[in-house]
Amino acid sequence: MAACLEKDPDQRWQSCRDVSRELSWLDLNPHTTDGRPTAASVGARWLPWTVAVAATVGVIGMLPGWLTTRRPAPPSTLQLSLLPPPQTSFSSPPASIVSPQLALSPDGRQLAVVAEERGSRPMLWIRALDGGDVRALRGTEDATYPFWSPDSRAVGFFAQGKLKTVDVAGGVPRTLADAALDSRGGTWGAAGVILFAPERGGLLQIPAAGGTPSPATTLDETRQDTTHRFPSFLPDGRHFLYSVRTRKSGEEGLGVAVGSLDSRETRVVISRTAWGAHYAEPGYILFLRAGTLMAQPFNRETLVASGDAVAIAQDVGATTTGYSSFSAASTGMLVHARPLSAPGRLRWFTRDGVPGDGLWDEGEYLDLALAPDERTLAVSRVGDAGLTSADLWLLDLVRGVPTRFTTHPMNDASPVWAPDGARLVFRSNREGYTQLYERRSAGTDAERTVLNTGISLIPTDWSADGRTVIYTSTTSPTGYEIWSWPAGSDQAPQRIVRTGLNATHGRLSPDGRWLAYASDESGSLQVWVQPLPATGEKRQISPDGGSEPQWRRDGAELFYLSSRGQLMSVAMPGGNAFAAGAPRPLFSVDVPLAGNPFRSNYAVTKDGQRFLINTRSSAASASISVVTNWTTLLRTASAE
């Protein structure tokens, strides 16, 4: 790999033949005679990352000309497919649709990813691409959105409501400033300035050495901006690209803009894309459009895009928050990742774990909710055309017929039924951040906004008396919070759970006296209960990890998903949550992305005898592609 990265063309391998010749002696999985790995293999623990060496494009076609003229062959493209570090999986930032987090160092020699071991919190991992080791950076628990310093010696990231940096050679992470828990990316410029994005509003800037954040961009009212996200500096360290979302409908309200530290003037240079972009030498903006990585010619002196964008990679991952899983170095190296797809099947189970009928076909299901009469299922499902957004569907459980309930190009999810079944509340990011919408379940009216607080909301329950909607607020500096809103009124919402870390998946008991929720305030995600109105008292229900609590209709039993992959039952004698019995497992389950605050994986009938579960049909998986001399892909695309 070091020879592939060599800046001097005379020293760099020029083709796959060079690579093949050097690798021909190498045992990619050396073991001793008793099956144990050799010392050399242990020292190269991430070698399985490089498990699918792909072919070089066009090398053989260039050989006749080389033989006759002896001119140096133009660089070709080597592609490697990389897997997560051993015993880990790639981690996504919180989102409905998820994708790996990665960042390539400017010198192209190191790759930062966010990965997590089973049952542990996600951390930053650094992989040396020139044949070195892979290691986790201690103290980076809960890291999101990594980005590199210009000298490739440090990484910036967000964790626990803070903007931090850490030296990759070792050391304790340094906190630079408070940042929204649900921040939206950062970038570190050559002028010693870091830009970062809160969940909504304009970008902020701070000296890389620390200081007080100040505005770097302001929302353009003429464009109807709602949020600026995922900035990326140009090489001069003064100008930068960023994603802009506006109030305009659909893709018309999305784009990539260019700004400057020296001026508040900005302009859109690429339209109709919802994700962040990066500049790449020798003069291109790389950006996503419907899962395809595009290269747009761009003059960084005049800040003008020209010509047509060219597709250079397919099936590149992105999240619904606008994060895109690709990164480029100044050396001509490019990395990109496939989405973290987690397909599932909807299937009924009895309390004994006996599987019953399946509903619909395999798909990427984000949420499911049974209607009060249990004759209809509301489900949020990602479109089959790609992992870009989800729509709501209503599935008639008697006839087995699905009907599409929403058709907006942005993300619609988290359906919650009114207690009479006549309406549904759901969330959508149609305005650049997530608001609550309502529509009659009969589909006889248009969706309408019912709650817009200016921050992203996730509805989770509607009280049995119809008066209160429970939702999660995602943008507190201290963590996710649970709020209640008097449905259909002008009264202000009230915060009912604030833990200092995260509280999600709030569920009211049928009599409205108790709230069950999941929180990581103890250091791991657990299920808790507290009385309503809040008295300050609360009880931890799950002993060893839990999420997604749900009540039986009579309030005498609480269910949740354990961290060990089991559906748990907790007796609530007399409906008193503070007299809860010991949790006991009902049966094992395998659901996609349990505990994700933007998802839910099961529904329970009112008598607690049957469970409809989004059962994982295959493990969430992704790989990272490393591409050398990526501009060769432009010639390949042109030839096609």
pLDDT at res. 465: 96
**Could you report the per-residue pLDDT of 428-448, keeping only the tens digit for each?**
988 767 899 999 999 999 999
Q: What is the mean pLDDT of the chain?
A: 85
Q: How far apart are CA 313 and CA 259, in angstroms?
A: 27
Q: What is the spatial distance between Cα 148 and Cα 402, in angstroms, rounded to a whole number?
A: 46
Architecture (CATH level 2) of domain 2-340+621-639 = 7 Propeller (2.130)
**pLDDT above 90 as % of the chain:** 61
Of the listed ranges 339-348, 499-508, 617-626, the least confidently predicted one is 617-626
Give the sign of the dihedral formed by CA 519, CA 165, CA 316, CA 310.
positive
Q: What's the first-to-final CA gap in the chain, in angstroms?
A: 29
List, as one string, the DSSP characters of 350-376: ETT--EEEEEEEEE-EEEEEE-TTSSE
**In angstroms, rounded to a whole number, what is the distance separating the alpha carbons of residues 44 and 36?**
14
632 vs 37, higher pLDDT: 632
Task: For domain 344-616, give its CATH number from 3.20.20.70, 2.160.20.10, 2.120.10.30, 2.40.40.20.
Answer: 2.120.10.30
Query: What confidence category does residue 57 fall into, taking pLDDT thresholds of 50, 70 and 90?
Result: very low
CB 283 within 8 A of CB 268: no
Rounded CA-CA distance 432/229 in Å is 10
The pairing of beta strand 355-363 with beta strand 365-370: unpaired
Q: For residue 177, give the H/E element and its range.
A: strand 174-178
State the pLDDT confidence band at 620, using cuts at 50, 70 and 90.
low
Which residue spans of the chain are classified as CATH 2.130.10.10?
2-340+621-639
Q: pTM of the full predicted structure?
A: 0.78
**Every domain range in the chain assigned CATH 2.120.10.30:** 344-616
Q: Give me the helices (H) in 98-243, please.
A: none
The 8-class DSSP code of residue 319 comes to -
Amino acid (1-letter code) at residue 565: G
Structure confidence at residue 616 (pLDDT): 87
Is omega for the bond preceding 235 within 30 degrees of 0, making it cis? no
Q: What is the mean pLDDT of residues 334-349?
A: 91
